[in-house]
């Protein structure tokens, strides 16, 4: 039975894709959407990131409508949530702790990216709670490279 569960846990419907890339040039500065960026040990070049286990932040695109519904908003743009990479087509929750290839870069998802109190500002009353469980993932950079919109996202190994 254990082997069957392991196979199920390792089975994904298909690869994901990078659909949006955002840089935070400084703390509380507006996000800048870009077509491509270099990922290094400190995170994305031009981003105000925390090095190490939180060098990069990822959000699943499929969570945007859920967050919007929970915040009672028509829609939520990715820059509102201040994550670096928006990924579509792949359940990031299933990859926690694993190595993930983003284009040619290699990262490791290190854990959930909890919402901050600023989500009340960004989304309005209840914004923090709307983000709980949907705040995305933090990652550390294992092998740097350039990442671009449209790049394939797959587990490594």
In this structure, is residue 48 part of a structural domain? yes
Distance, in Å, from the CA atom of 37 to the CA atom of 102, rounded to the nearest integer, reads 12
Distance, in Å, from the CA atom of 75 to the CA atom of 68, rounded to the nearest integer, reads 5
Average pLDDT of the chain is 92
- pLDDT given at position 12: 67
The total domain count for the chain is 1
Which H or E run includes 6? Answer: helix 2-10
Determine whether 16 is exposed, middle or buried from the number of CB atoms within 10 Å of its CB (0-12, 13-18, 19+).
buried
* CA proximity to 47, closest of 17, 77, 93, 79: 79
pTM (two decimals) = 0.91
**Tens digits of residue pLDDT in 21-70:** 999 998 889 999 999 999 999 999 999 988 889 999 999 999 999 999 99
pLDDT over threshold 90, residue 8: no
In this structure, is residue 5 part of a structural domain? no
Total Cβ atoms within 10 A of residue 1 = 5
* CA proximity to 80, closest of 48, 116, 133: 116
CATH number of the domain at 72, please: 2.40.33.20
**Tens digits of residue pLDDT in 58-81:** 999 999 999 999 999 999 999 999
Residue 26 lies in domain: 15-155
In this structure, is residue 10 part of a structural domain? no
Q: How far is CA 30 from the centre of its chain?
A: 18
Sign of CA dihedral 107, 104, 146, 19: negative
């Amino acid at each position: 039975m254990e082997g069957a569960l392991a196979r199920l846990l390792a089975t994904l419907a298909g690869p994901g894709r990078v659909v949006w890339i955002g840089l935070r040039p400084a703390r509380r500065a507006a996000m800048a959407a870009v077509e491509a960026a270099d990922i290094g040990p400190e995170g994305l070049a031009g981003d105000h990131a925390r090095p190490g286990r939180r060098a990069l932040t990822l959000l699943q695109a499929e969570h945007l409508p859920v967050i919007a519904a929970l915040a009672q908003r028509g829609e939520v743009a990715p820059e509102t949530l201040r994550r670096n990479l928006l990924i579509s087509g792949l359940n990031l929750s299933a990859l926690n702790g694993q190595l993930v290839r983003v284009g040619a870069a290699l990262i490791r998802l290190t854990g959930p990216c909890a919402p901050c109190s600023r989500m009340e500002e960004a989304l309005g009353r209840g914004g923090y709670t709307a983000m709980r469980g949907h705040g995305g993932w933090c990652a550390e950079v294992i092998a740097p490279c350039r990442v671009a919109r449209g790049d394939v996202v797959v587990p490594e190994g």
